[in-house]
Each structure stands twice: as structure tokens, then as C-alpha cells.
Amino acid sequence: MRSVSPTFTRRLLDSAAIDAADAQVLVDTARALKRGAGAETPRLRGKNIALLCAHVEGDDVRRFDAAASALGARVSHINATPAWLRDDPPMGAPTARLLENLYDAVDCEELPAGFAQRLQAQLGVPVFDGLARDTHAVFGLLPRVALRGAAPDEDDRRALLQALLVRSLS
């Protein structure tokens, strides 16, 4: 099975274009996950993901939680502190160390621009910036995940999100 390039998660964070080889790996993985949707395997069993968010009730938060949990990951919702919601939110070294020790990855939903990048500079685990958000650049691949001629649907979105998680955390 082909794998994504070593800089894959960094490009996801920076919303840089995903190269053709990584895009094909994601599309192939998403299609494979869709084919096995009825018998989802716990590919992320034992993985812990922190979901830092301003609002725990958003659609993106629910979408991320459902996709990761279906793969066996444990998702912890962590409400953003008021300091994190300012333009230049600080993240103290002890808090960063704690996140790195407890979690295999961190997704930042609805947090100020640049927060995820500053957090990634402090952590040795993948940090995502709104991975389930409709506007995330990777969802440009949705038409390639959908069946030929069909419009992408929620199952396609979930499969692509799961492919991102599997490829980033496996």
C-alpha cells in the first residue's frame, strides 16, 4: 500500500496544495473505506485525538468526531480558553507538553487564524486546522471520491476525512 509523503501533514496544516501522488493515495484510501463502510475496522484503535474548539456543538465538530470515532479513535473535546480566542493566543509550554503526551494528534476547530500553526511549532504530533471544515482545501478531492457521475455526498466527505486521519496517524 502506498503511503503519503513525509510532508503531507504539514501541507494539510498550511492549506498548501496536495501533490498529485498524495491526492491519489487519499482518494484510493477514501474509496476503500467507502467500500468497507458496513464493516469499518478500528484502524485508529488506541489513538487519542484532541479536538480544540470554541463551540462543541458545531457541524464540523460532530463530523470530525463521528469520522474519527468510527475508526476506533478516542476524541476528546477541549473547549478553547478565552486567551486562545484572541488574535495572538498564547499556549504555554506546560499545556503544549500535556497535549503532546496525551494525544496522537490535535485538530483546531473555529480557532483564530494562525493558532494551529503556532501550536504545531510547539508539538511533535500532527496538528490540523479545521480538518472537517467545508472550506478545507482537501475537500476539493470530493468529486474524485464520489462514484462516476454522482454528486459528492456526506458519505464521500466522511470517507475522505477518514482517509486523511488514517494516512496521518497510521
**8 A C-beta contact, residue 45 and residue 165:** no
Q: pLDDT per residue over 39-73, tens digit each?
A: 556 889 999 999 998 877 888 899 999 999 999 99
- Report the pLDDT value the prediction gives residue 3, as an integer from 0 to 100: 58
Return the C-alpha cell found at 21.
Answer: 501522488
> In the chain, at which residue ranges do the beta strands (DSSP E only) sit?
48-53, 74-79, 105-109, 127-129
- Report the pLDDT value the prediction gives residue 106, as an integer from 0 to 100: 94
Find, among 96, 57, 95, 48, the residue nearest to 76 by Cα.
48
H helices of 15-153, in order, are 20-35, 59-70, 93-102, 115-122, 142-145
Q: pLDDT per residue over 140-153, tens digit each?
A: 899 999 887 788 89
Q: How far is CA 32 from CA 23, 82, 112, in A?
A: 14, 41, 34
- pLDDT of residue 89 exceeding 80: no
Residue that wins the pLDDT comparison between 88 and 162: 162
167, HSE (Cβ side, Cα atoms, 13 Å): 29
| CA–CA separation, 69 and 55 (whole Å) | 19
- Report the pLDDT value the prediction gives residue 96, as an integer from 0 to 100: 85
